[in-house]
């Protein structure tokens, strides 16, 4: 509640936060899918770097 109240009552704070977040781009579904594929790839699941395939390095 404190942050909501601050946004509602402190114009300078509100403007500064809006400006700081103005270029934020949330991840797309494609970004999420690529992250899942990378996390579940055989090399990501192989903790020992010596066992990884050279192409993944």
Q: How far apart are CA 37 and CA 27, in angstroms?
A: 15
Query: What is the DSSP secondary structure assignment for residue 25, as one 8-state letter?
Result: -
- Evaluate whether 42 touches 53 at the Cβ level (below 8 Å): yes
- Tell whether pTM > 0.75: no
User: According to the model, what pLDDT value does residue 26 have?
Assistant: 92
User: According to the model, what pLDDT value does residue 53 have?
Assistant: 66
End-to-end CA distance of the chain: 47
- Evaluate whether 44 touches 38 at the Cβ level (below 8 Å): yes
- List, for residues 4-41, the tens digit of each pLDDT value: 888 788 889 889 989 999 999 999 999 999 999 988 88
Q: How far apart are CA 54 and CA 3, in angstroms?
A: 49
């Amino acid at each position: 509640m404190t942050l909501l109240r601050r946004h509602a009552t402190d114009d300078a704070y509100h403007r500064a936060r809006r400006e700081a977040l103005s270029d934020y781009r949330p991840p797309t579904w494609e970004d999420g899918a690529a992250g899942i594929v990378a996390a579940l790839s055989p090399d990501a699941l192989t903790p020992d770097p010596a066992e990884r395939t050279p192409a993944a390095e």
